[in-house]
Amino acid sequence: MNILVAHDGSEQADKALKRAVDLAVMAKASLSVLSVVPDLCMMELSDDDCKSMYKIMTNESEKKLAALKDDLSKKGVEMDTAVKFGNAADIIIRACTDKKADLVVVGSHGRHGAKKFLLGSVSSKVVEHAPCDVIVVK
């Protein structure tokens, strides 16, 4: 079994990650952690600028997940990480197919969930369009 969990650095995403880790340990499944970062590369920035920005953000989230990876490998759970830039819902849905995931775990709302009208816009889109089963962690 292959479990995909999406992470955007928010508290809710930490919850989702924790739940996904529990599930993976329980089911002896492999875990893919997908860090989703909004793509802030824009016209004002040259390619080099964008690359250096991506590098800083990628290094950061890989560093953050390194400890978890060690911990999981001791428990016999394989884990791979990836950092993707762009629209969160689109990226998660695409990764679902690419990684041949059986299950996707997402938080109920992301970094900007405080704003009511945005609540859960990513998770609901994933629920609606993802080709696999989805768990929304509340």
Partner 1 sequence: MNEEKRSPVTLIIGLILLAYALVLRSQNAALAPEGLVALADFLKTGKTLGTQISVGLWSGIIISVVGIWNLAMPSMTSKFDKLVRAPMAGIGMIIALCYITRFYMEPLIKVWGKQAQPALGWDFSSIFGLNYILLGIILGIVWVNTIGIPAWMQAGVKTARLAMKTAVITLGTMYSITELKYLGGLSILMVASFVMGTAIFVLWLGKLAQIPRPLTGVLAAGLGVCGVSAAVAAAPVVKARGVDMAYSIGMLLLVGVVGLFIFPPVAKMVGMNELQFGAWAGTGILNSAQVAAAALIFDPHTIETLKVAEIFNITRILFLPFIVIMLAIWFAKGEEEAEGKVNVNLGKILVDKFPLFVLGFILMFAFSSTGVFTPKGVELHGKSFYSFKIDEKKEVRTRDLKKIQTMMESGAVTDAKVKAALEKLVADKQITSAEQIPLVLKAQDFTPDKDMKKVFQDADKKVQTKPETMEMMREYMMWLFAFGLIGLGMQITWTTIRQAGGKAAMIGAFTGVTKAVLSFFVCWLLIKGSI
Stretch that binds partner 1, among 21-29, 49-57, 70-78, 124-132 (CB under 8 A): 49-57
Q: How far apart are CA 2 and CA 71, in angstroms?
A: 18
129 binds partner 1 (CB under 8 A): no
Whether the Cβ atoms of residue 33 and residue 65 lie closer than 8 Å to each other:
yes
Stretch that binds partner 1, among 14-22, 38-46, 100-108, 127-135 (CB under 8 A): 38-46
Shortest Cβ 122–partner 1 spacing (Å) = 11
Residue number, 67 or 114, with CB nearest to partner 1: 114
Residue number, 46 or 73, with CB nearest to partner 1: 46
Which residues contact partner 1 (rule: CB under 8 A)?
9, 37-38, 40, 42-46, 48-50, 52-53, 56-57, 60-61, 87, 112
